[in-house]
Amino acid sequence: MINVTIDGHKIQVSEGTSVLEAARRLDINIPTLCHIPGMDAEGFCRVCVVELVGARNLVPACASILQEGMKIITDSPRVFNARRQVLDLLLSKHNANCFACYKHGDCLFHRYCLEYGLQKSSYEHLQAWKPIDDSNPFYNFDPNKCILCRKCERICAEKQCVEALALCERGFDNHIAPAFDAPLGNSACVSCGNCLTVCPTGALYPKTLLSGHYNKMTETVCPYCGVGCKMGLLTHEGRVMGVQPLKGAANDGLMCVKGRFAYNFIQHPDRLKKPLIRKNGKLTEASWEEAYDVIIKAWNKAKAVGGGSAIAGLASARCTNEENYLFQKLLRGLGNTNNIDHCARLCHASTVAGLQMSFGSGAMTNSIAEITDMDVIFVIGSNTTETHPVIATKMRQAAKKGAVIIVAEPRRIELCNDAQFFLQIKPGTNVALLNGMLKAILEAGLENKNFINERTEGFNELKAYLDTVTVEECAEICRVEAALLRKAAETYARAKNAGIFYAMGITQHSTGTDGVRMVANLAMLCGQIGKEASGVNPLRGQNNVQGSCDMAALPGDLPGYQKVADPKAREKFSKAWGLPVPETAGKTVSEIFNAIDDGEIKFLYIMGENPMVSDPDLNHLEKVLAKIPFLLVQDIFLNETAAFADVVLPAASFAEKDGTFTNTERRVQCLHKAVKLPGEAKADWQIITELMNKLGYKASYSHPAEIMAEINALTPSYGGITYNRLENGEGLQWPCLNEEHKGTKFLHKDKFTRGLGAFAVCPYTLSREVPDTEYPFILTTGRVLYQYHTRTMTGKSAGVQEIAGEPYVEINRLDAHSLGIANGDKVTVSSRRGSVITTAKVVETIGRGVLFMPFHYSQAAANRLTNKALDPYAKIPELKVCAVKIYKA
Amino acid sequence: MKIRSFDDLKQYKKSLYGNKKTAKYTVLVGMATCGVASGANTTMTAFEETVNELGLKNVTLKRTGCIGYCFLEPIAEVIDEQGNSTIYTKVDKAKVAEIVSSHLQNGKPLTEGVIKPDMQRINLAEVKPIQKRQLRVALRNCGVIDPESLDDYIKYDGYMALAKCLFELTPNGVIEIIKRSGLRGRGGGGFSTGLKWSFVAKENAPVKNIICNADEGDPGAFMDRSILEGDPNSILEAMAIAGYATGAAHGYIYIRAEYPMAVKRLKIAIAQATEMGLLGDNIMGTDFSFDIQIKLGAGAFVCGEETALIHSIEGKRGEPKMKPPYPAKRGLWGEPTCVNNVETYANICPIIIKGDQWFNSMGTTKSPGTKVFALAGKINNVGLVEVPMGITLREMIYDVGGGIVDGKAFKAIQTGGPSGGVIPYTMLDTPIEYDSLVAMGSMMGSGGMIVMDEDDCMVNIAKFYLEFSVEESCGRCTPCRIGNKRLFEILEKITNGNGTMDDIRKLKELGRVIKDTALCGLGQTSPNPVLSTLHFFEDEYIAHVVDRTCPAKTCSSLIRYFIMPDKCIGCTLCARVCPVSCIDGERKALHSIRQHECIKCGACMDACKSNAIVKR
């Protein structure tokens, strides 16, 4: 601690404290325009100057670190005058047309000017105003309002790591613009909007000028991907005006384009406002009572015919923990069925299965904040910059700090620009690649023998198997250079702290569980797990897919992964609920649809899902859905699946309800109601509660907190995650066993959940469908940054539609050339299951013989082509590999 | 061969003297940029051709650096066996023929165009009292040795200082000598070099760096270039000494790309020294290794500021950053870094060899040693001079500089370039040293001195320097980016005759705030030209805004040209040279200027032979 004096106040501060920080602690107001808390102070603006007794010149408070005995004066006439003069200079180059400004009333620069008695600049000169750059679909840049605090440039370069904004020219002509003064719309900008967040003036502003004018900010969580960014929903008298990123543990104040700008679905006119009942083949508006009558009748009828096995439900990774919990309680307790599943089956079922077998629990072992402390980051089967943008920024920040990124992907994804190793593998060969890496590490003698001996089992079997393979043959299978594979593997093994990140590229295969187990093998072989900044990290796709799994929207599990097969667990729940918990194993998504096809299931309840775009082999699914006796859909929009429904119930979006989401790093965070529900729509938990009551069960939840209390009591890993704590803190990471438990930053410290980590022997096998002469290409699918999943939400944003509104298929330049396909040509892509017409995008980033399609678009749905071949353990379909042909349409 | 020990070096030096029989005459041609620009290439070729044609076996031709008499280039020096030197100036082809036939062939030196500089060069091997006005320490080898020959440098005790450090001194011992010598940074700031080295030395880091700041940017300063062109090895040797003293193994010379000849000679010197084991791995057989890289700058003035320079080497925008942390703690690539100016390094080897006491016997107590100045402007002897610190301005201008051109009245001198200020005629007897200059509102800077006479308008001078600062501001901080521009605009307003007394107040106030709030040294000193001219010549400013006149008759908006009826003889010369044809008048009749069309170029006044045209 050091002793200093500020304006006569004696204060003790820790070493490294800046004058600004210390002054703020004393409630001394020092103006600053260029300082970003948590980032290096640069001292650009010079508005924060203070007097340091003994120094010749004034010093900037933000960048001056206090030393023992320093005396600081912040309120002398000299300081006041200097600040006023500096503000005057800034004002002399600022277009103070405040009336037309987005920041009017909320402008830091304006406030300081008024505070220092400046209403207009004292310098007279002609201004040549520059044109506004409005080429980005989400925001504009007005250089005439820019005061060159350079926060935007720094956040873009140092936090977002995109470097779209730069400082051009020199001296008085300095200005912010993309390199070479390119328009923003034609730059590296990813429209994350983080520059808007830090801009102190109205120089960077959203297209909708009015969005700066709000009278309420509701703290909540972004409804898109699994990162779980904290954000403020800005509203004015019930109208959603915009989004303000907040500093959460996961996002550190950053957001991506979807969460930041694609919010207008919330109050979109297409929102469902009344229940719909199919009458004479047409969905017509009805009252809730009518709808409930029809539902109960159908439920009872199905149950009478086939008992519990005639009923099934698909829960939602978009809904809250509480809602998923209630959903499975309804189906298990009142429907007497374990036929509950949800879209996690299509994304991380293999993770849940594989990591459970290897470690004992299937979730990200590290926290997002640990990424920047990693020395090696191995990304396999994840296009992180597009699917988990904020996590990707953390990876890039780590790379800036010196971390080595290894990417294994069929496409040269954006992250490759920051990577030192890129292994362009053939789709479907993850297992071979990882076997090769394991073998290379063993050959180099880099395995962590202590870790293997003390914390794992099954190593000898694995080693015996690896004795039968060579690095060269594995590399051959993946179509990568053996030397490169070896080097990447050795780099991973040598790292002090290494994290593996993977997503659908590992899981969505008929060998998905093997892929996951191989990832676990790699981490255990090198001892890169169970410690800070080292681990195995499946990146969960949806905002609450972790939570919906935790809440047991799964056929074989009860909340907190307590097993249905375990009689004690069943007994615990049935006792608590006062309802019997069925013993019969439930069906997975694909099995449910097959059972509908077979006529076994007669009642399907889909809450907040859209399988008619997201599931494989849509042509088949279309027939199945047409066949089902009763389909109940509960959603916020009349989506592709709802078109088949018998009853559609209008539900609440994230902005209209309270609840909790669990993000990919196991962090439970609260969302809050910001606006009222559209029309007669109800929150999902309310609908389920009402249905329970209609079915004769006394349920009286008046707020999700009450549901959470029930979860706390029944789910050990959620034992201490109470609303009381969540509302007063940062969010808690499970396992959090009781009220005193602080939550768990990283998993498997000292001991794996299952005791010893289990090595697995996983020989490489071919994908279920491989190219042949008729269907010579491998089709792989994925996502793009701007769209989310089945586009029910992002599809409503004009900006998103402008940038990424159209479906396409990526094809290698050489393949395209040999087929006579040019960029932009209409092409037909066909598999054995269907065919779609889309637009060719000729690229060099994809390997030869491979095609890529984003799956978001129903107008050219990639899932009409995909294969529903299943992984034997996890029952996940092989969405990432199928054989197709392509020709000019 | 490779030098592997101190003895190796001594032996090698001896061998350079031993084997060759000294020729009867040695002819040195000054071939630094100033010489070459004045035609030294032709001179050299002429000497070569003539000597070859005549088959003169007893003449050695040698190219060398600049001796500082830039206004008399090309310069050739003839030294005979006894060591008598004759320095010929403005040596063109014809003069070469004369020199050869009279001096080289017949032993009769010419007397025309010969100078005898009031200059003494230090000899590293012996101690002599100061006898002459100019004393060459940093420039000791410029104009003496062939800068492209390492042998020549070794002959003049080259690399002896480094050897002495490596074999006889500890790193700390080296630092102590430099500290005691009192050597202060010659780049302008005047910080103690020994102290700076000791800061870097005490940092505990695996990698440290030595940087030579050769980004000479002050308008009118060219001593660094001259040293690099005339004696590149002395800088390399000093950098290696700095590396040894501070524990650094990597050196960088940041030099502007506009100095191609200096770059070329540095490259040659680095290659030769590395070849001989005087740089690179295991220097002279010891376990000390030191390599040097050249980094070219793009000529931004701000890159002479050490943190901006470091950014530039790192490939970033050349912008300064906040200090502290100083480069000694966190410099290049975040590693402890010692940044010194070329001239500072040029003083190191003499200090090591001749000792700290010798060094601080020169100059003043607070500013020991000598300083190189670049004299420019309205002074007779334009060029480089090296004098002991503490010499007065009067001695500098009238003795060393040869007085003001055309015998006009001295008005002021600008020191320290755009960061410095003017010193008026009233302070002619002030000694020149770091602290006295700062006390007068100016600074040493890199040693540029621009002399102004009665015809120079002080407002205009301030505007000139401000324009430079506006142009060269990196724009990182507000006061420098916008403030200097506003200062410049106000000065423009005043010189255009539209100024007000309030503008003068604004100049003072804004100038002071810029000094007080700007981020780096350049920003903080950029208002100096305005503030110092305001301090010493406020009446000239007032004349501009109140009387709407320019006392020096320089500001074109405030002057008019008139033809005096009693002097005009009607020769029509003025009318013929007027570029806008605004002078009327018949032959042999009084001419007159149409004032509203006149662009005040002054061509008529220059042309008039009867002094009939006046400025008012």
CATH number of the CATH domain containing B196? 3.40.50.11540
For residue B392, give the DSSP letter.
Answer: B
Mutation pick from B466, B500, B514, B517 vs chain A, by most beta carbons of A within 10 Å, is B517
Peptide bond connecting B325 to the previous residue in cis, omega within 30 degrees of 0: yes
Q: Are A522 and A508 in contact (CB under 8 A)?
A: no
Mutation pick from A46, A126, A148 vs chain B, by most beta carbons of B within 10 Å, is A46
Q: Crossing angle for the helix pair B458-472 and B528-542, nearest 10 degrees?
A: 150
**B191 contacts in chain A (CB < 8 Å):** none
Phi, psi of B324 (to 5 degrees): -70, 165
Using CB atoms, which residue from A45, A82, A174 is nearest to B516? A82
**B483 contacts in chain A (CB < 8 Å):** 85, 89
pTM score of the predicted model? 0.89
Residue B133 lies in a domain: no
Q: CA-CA distances (angstroms) from residue A859 to A336, A645, A790?
A: 38, 20, 11
> How would you classify the pairing of strands B114-115 and B85-88?
antiparallel
Q: Can you tell me the distance from the alpha carbon of B134 to that of B69, in angstroms, rounded to the nearest whole number?
A: 12
The domain that holds B492 is classified in CATH as 1.20.1440.230
Provide the residue range defining the domain that includes B45.
Answer: 20-116
Q: Can you tell me the distance from the alpha carbon of A421 to that of A401, in angstroms, rounded to the nearest whole number?
A: 17
Q: Are B320 and B519 in contact (CB under 8 A)?
A: yes
**A157 contacts in chain B (CB < 8 Å):** none
The SS3 assignment for B308 reads helix
For A240-260, what is each residue's pLDDT tens digit? Answer: 999 999 999 999 999 999 999
Q: Are A630 and A602 in contact (CB under 8 A)?
A: yes
The contacts of residue B118 (CB under 8 Å, 6+ apart) are B132, B133, B134, B399, B400
The SS3 assignment for B196 reads helix
For residue B519, give the DSSP letter.
Answer: S
CA closest to A64 among chain B residues: B324
Written as one letter, the residue type at B137 is V
Q: Are A257 and A739 in contact (CB under 8 A)?
A: no
Q: Do B479 and A89 touch (CB under 8 A)?
A: yes
Q: Can you tell me the distance from the alpha carbon of B550 to that of B238, in angstroms, rounded to the nearest whole number?
A: 50
Q: Min CA distance, A423 vs chain B (Å)? A: 29
For residue B21, give the DSSP letter.
Answer: P
Residue B176 shares a structural domain with residue B309? yes
State the Cα torsion A223-A227-A232-A238 to the nearest 10°: 0
Which pLDDT score is estimated for B330?
93
Which pLDDT score is estimated for B441?
81
Written as one letter, the residue type at A310 is A
**B321 contacts in chain A (CB < 8 Å):** 42
ipTM: 0.90
Using CB atoms, which residue from B481, B483, B516 is nearest to A58? B516
- pLDDT at B394 > cutoff 60: yes
Q: Can you tell me the distance from the alpha carbon of B173 to that of B181, in angstroms, rounded to the nearest whole number?
A: 12
- pLDDT at A712 > cutoff 90: yes
pLDDT band at A616, cuts 50/70/90?
confident
Q: Are A161 and A393 in contact (CB under 8 A)?
A: yes
Q: Can you tell me the distance from the alpha carbon of B283 to that of B291, in angstroms, rounded to the nearest whole number?
A: 10
Q: Can you tell me the distance from the alpha carbon of A537 to that of A394, in angstroms, rounded to the nearest whole number?
A: 14
Q: Can you tell me the distance from the alpha carbon of B494 to that of B514, in angstroms, rounded to the nearest whole number?
A: 20
Which pLDDT score is estimated for B442?
84
Q: Can you tell me the distance from the alpha carbon of B138 to that of B136, in angstroms, rounded to the nearest whole number?
A: 6
CA closest to B512 among chain A residues: A82
Q: CA-CA distances (angstroms) from residue A59 to A55, A877, B322?
A: 8, 63, 10
Written as one letter, the residue type at A364 is M
pLDDT band at A632, cuts 50/70/90?
very high
Phi, psi of A103 (to 5 degrees): -85, 5
For B219-277, what is each residue's pLDDT tens digit? Answer: 888 999 999 999 999 999 999 999 999 999 999 999 999 999 999 999 999 999 999 99
Q: Can you tell me the distance from the alpha carbon of A396 to that of A162, in angstroms, rounded to the nearest whole number?
A: 9
Q: Min CA distance, B185 vs chain A (Å)? A: 20
> How would you classify the pairing of strands A239-245 and A230-236?
antiparallel
CA closest to B319 among chain A residues: A170
Which pLDDT score is estimated for B18?
66
Q: What is the mean pLDDT of residues A176-197?
A: 93
For A501-529, what is each residue's pLDDT tens digit? Answer: 999 999 999 999 999 999 999 999 999 99
Residue B394 shares a structural domain with residue B278? no
* Nearest in space to B298 (alpha carbons), one of B340, B267, B258, B245: B258
- pLDDT at A710 > cutoff 90: yes
* Nearest in space to A340 (alpha carbons), one of A354, A350, A326: A326
Written as one letter, the residue type at A574 is S
Cβ atoms within 10 Å, residue A404: 21
Q: Can you tell me the distance from the alpha carbon of A326 to that of A331, in angstroms, rounded to the nearest whole number?
A: 9
Residue B202 shares a structural domain with residue B345? yes
A161 part of contact set with chain B, CB < 8 Å: no
Using CB atoms, which residue from B475, B482, B515 is nearest to A90? B482
Residue B473 lies in a domain: yes
Angle formed at CA B60 by CA B59 and CA B63, multiple of 5 degrees: 140
Q: Can you tell me the distance from the alpha carbon of A236 to that of B307, in angstroms, rounded to the nearest whole number?
A: 48
**A171 contacts in chain B (CB < 8 Å):** 470-475, 481, 485
- pLDDT at A495 > cutoff 60: yes
Q: What is the DSSP string of B59-77?
A: EEEEEE---S-GGG-S-EE
Q: Can you tell me the distance from the alpha carbon of B354 to that of B360, in angstroms, rounded to the nearest whole number?
A: 11
**A167 contacts in chain B (CB < 8 Å):** 317, 475
Which pLDDT score is estimated for B20?
57
Angle formed at CA A751 by CA A747 and CA A753, multiple of 5 degrees: 65
The SS3 assignment for A71 reads strand
- pLDDT at A124 > cutoff 80: no
Which pLDDT score is estimated for B22?
65
Residue B521 lies in a domain: yes
Angle formed at CA B380 by CA B377 and CA B385, multiple of 5 degrees: 80
- pLDDT at B126 > cutoff 90: no
State the Cα torsion B76-B80-B86-B91 to the nearest 10°: -30
- pLDDT at B288 > cutoff 70: yes
Q: What is the mean pLDDT of residues A31-60?
A: 93
Q: Can you tell me the distance from the alpha carbon of B285 to that of B6, in angstroms, rounded to the nearest whole number?
A: 9
Q: Are B550 and B559 in contact (CB under 8 A)?
A: yes
The SS3 assignment for A20 reads helix
pLDDT band at B17, cuts 50/70/90?
confident
A60 part of contact set with chain B, CB < 8 Å: yes
Q: Which of B303, B322, B357 is the last residue of a domain?
A: B357
pLDDT band at A584, cuts 50/70/90?
confident
Q: Do B473 and A171 touch (CB under 8 A)?
A: yes
**Residue with the two structure tokens 């090296």:** B386
R_g of chain A, CA atoms, integer Å: 29
Q: Can you tell me the distance from the alpha carbon of B86 to that of B89, in angstroms, rounded to the nearest whole number?
A: 10
The domain that holds B410 is classified in CATH as 3.10.20.600
- pLDDT at A165 > cutoff 90: yes
Express as a percent the part of chain A with pLDDT over 70: 100
Residue B425 shares a structural domain with residue B462? no
Residue B569 shares a structural domain with residue B541? no
Residue B265 shares a structural domain with residue B185? yes
Q: Provide the number of structural domains found in chain B.
A: 5
Residue B14 lies in a domain: no
A85 part of contact set with chain B, CB < 8 Å: yes
Which pLDDT score is estimated for A48?
95
> What number of C-beta contacts closer than 8 Å exist between A and B?
93
Which pLDDT score is estimated for A524?
95
Residue B215 shares a structural domain with residue B330? yes
Q: Min CA distance, B575 vs chain A (Å)? A: 38
Residue B27 shares a structural domain with residue B167? no
Q: Min CA distance, B324 vs chain A (Å)? A: 8
Q: Which of B116, B135, B159 is the last residue of a domain?
A: B116
Residue B206 shares a structural domain with residue B312? yes
Q: What is the mean pLDDT of residues A327-332?
A: 94
What are the tokens at B76?
A: 């050739």
Residue B15 lies in a domain: no
Q: What is the mean pLDDT of residues B587-598?
A: 92
Chain Cα centroid distance, residue B557 = 34
For B601-616, what is each residue's pLDDT tens digit? Answer: 999 999 999 999 998 8
Residue B131 lies in a domain: no
- pLDDT at B131 > cutoff 70: no
For B201-223, what is each residue's pLDDT tens digit? Answer: 999 999 999 999 999 988 888 99
Mutation pick from B319, B322, B492, B506 vs chain A, by most beta carbons of A within 10 Å, is B322
Q: Min CA distance, B614 vs chain A (Å)? A: 35
* Nearest in space to B127 (alpha carbons), one of B118, B137, B119: B137
Q: Is A54 left (phi over 0), alpha (psi -120 to 50) or beta?
A: left
The SS3 assignment for B313 reads helix
For B317-328, what is each residue's pLDDT tens digit? Answer: 999 998 888 999
Q: Can you tell me the distance from the alpha carbon of B237 to that of B234, in angstroms, rounded to the nearest whole number?
A: 5
For residue A457, give the DSSP letter.
Answer: E
Which pLDDT score is estimated for A852?
95
Secondary structure of A620-669 in HEC code, one letter for each residue: HHHHHHHHCCEEEEEECCCCCCHHHCCEEEEECCHHHCCEEEECCCCEEE
What are the tokens at B244?
A: 């040894």
Q: Min CA distance, A167 vs chain B (Å)? A: 9
Q: Are A83 and A107 in contact (CB under 8 A)?
A: no
The domain that holds B30 is classified in CATH as 3.40.30.10
Q: What is the mean pLDDT of residues A469-481?
A: 94
What are the tokens at B91?
A: 């040596």
Q: Which of B453, B486, B510 is the last residue of a domain?
A: B453
What are the tokens at A135?
A: 């080429």
Q: Do B517 and A82 touch (CB under 8 A)?
A: yes
Q: Are A274 and A286 in contact (CB under 8 A)?
A: yes
Residue B103 shares a structural domain with residue B171? no
CA closest to A82 among chain B residues: B513
Q: Can you tell me the distance from the alpha carbon of A693 to that of A329, in angstroms, rounded to the nearest whole number?
A: 13
Work out the mean pLDDT of chain A and round it to a whole number: 92
Q: What is the mean pLDDT of residues B343-358?
A: 95
Mutation pick from A66, A78, A79, A89 vs chain B, by most beta carbons of B within 10 Å, is A89
Q: Do A89 and B483 touch (CB under 8 A)?
A: yes
State the Cα torsion B571-B574-B577-B582 to the nearest 10°: -120
- pLDDT at A239 > cutoff 60: yes
What are the tokens at A702?
A: 């008046």
Using CB atoms, which residue from A46, A92, A172 is nearest to B519? A46
Q: Are A148 and A44 in contact (CB under 8 A)?
A: yes
Chain Cα centroid distance, residue B537 = 27
For B186-198, what is each residue's pLDDT tens digit? Answer: 988 889 999 999 9
Residue B90 lies in a domain: yes
Residue B111 shares a structural domain with residue B211? no
Q: Can you tell me the distance from the alpha carbon of B459 to that of B507, in angstroms, rounded to the nearest whole number?
A: 11
A144 part of contact set with chain B, CB < 8 Å: no
For B58-79, what is each residue's pLDDT tens digit? Answer: 888 999 998 888 889 899 999 9
Q: What is the mean pLDDT of residues A659-680?
A: 94
A86 part of contact set with chain B, CB < 8 Å: yes
- pLDDT at B19 > cutoff 60: no
Residue B222 shares a structural domain with residue B295? yes
A47 part of contact set with chain B, CB < 8 Å: yes
Which pLDDT score is estimated for A219?
94
Residue B144 lies in a domain: no
Q: Do B513 and A93 touch (CB under 8 A)?
A: no
